[in-house]
């Protein structure tokens, strides 16, 4: 696979590998991830519906994060950028599968979040860099 193609396929699992922002890493085994209770306060995200996520799964970014402000929700999509395409993508759910690249977080095991409850913050966020995983805790 060419490097350009790998970057275009950000966040997609291919042949047992997870491609995200040009990094390729082993994907978590199917069924190995825990469903966390998610509370999202990023109200202008297209996937947010009453503090629940309609996406089905999210990616917390922050590969070298040492504190929660170094993390972000890589799945964030500004509602105003999506036009008529809104949170009707899926049904809102309080529990969700969370992929996580914050390898210094105590809840991260094999790129999956194992926290019972996860808070994503980012009031007024215009991009994913303005969001944060408030549950992050350094190992």
pTM, 2 dp: 0.71
- The pLDDT confidence band at residue 122, using thresholds 50, 70 and 90, is very high
How far is Cα 64 from Cα 61, in angstroms, rounded to an integer? 9
Instruction: Please report, for the chain, the start and end positions of each structural domain, with discontinuous segments joined by +.
Output: 1-29, 31-133
How far is Cα 50 from Cα 61, in angstroms, rounded to an integer? 23
- The pLDDT confidence band at residue 89, using thresholds 50, 70 and 90, is low
Q: Which residue has the higher pLDDT, 19 or 139?
A: 139
Structure tokens at 125: 């966020």
């Amino acid at each position: 696979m060419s490097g350009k193609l790998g970057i275009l396929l950000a966040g997609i699992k291919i042949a047992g590998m997870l491609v995200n922002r040009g990094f390729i890493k082993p994907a978590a085994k199917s069924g190995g991830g825990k469903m966390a209770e998610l509370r999202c306060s990023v109200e202008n995200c297209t996937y947010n519906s009453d503090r629940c996520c309609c996406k089905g799964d999210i990616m917390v970014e922050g590969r070298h994060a040492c504190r929660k402000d170094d993390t972000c929700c890589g799945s964030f999509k500004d509602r105003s950028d999506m036009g008529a395409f809104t949170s009707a993508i899926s049904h809102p759910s309080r529990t969700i599968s969370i992929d996580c690249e914050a390898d210094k977080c105590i809840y991260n095991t094999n790129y999956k979040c194992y926290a019972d409850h996860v808070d994503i913050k980012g009031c007024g966020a215009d991009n994913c860099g303005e969001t944060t995983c408030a549950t992050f805790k350094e190992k």
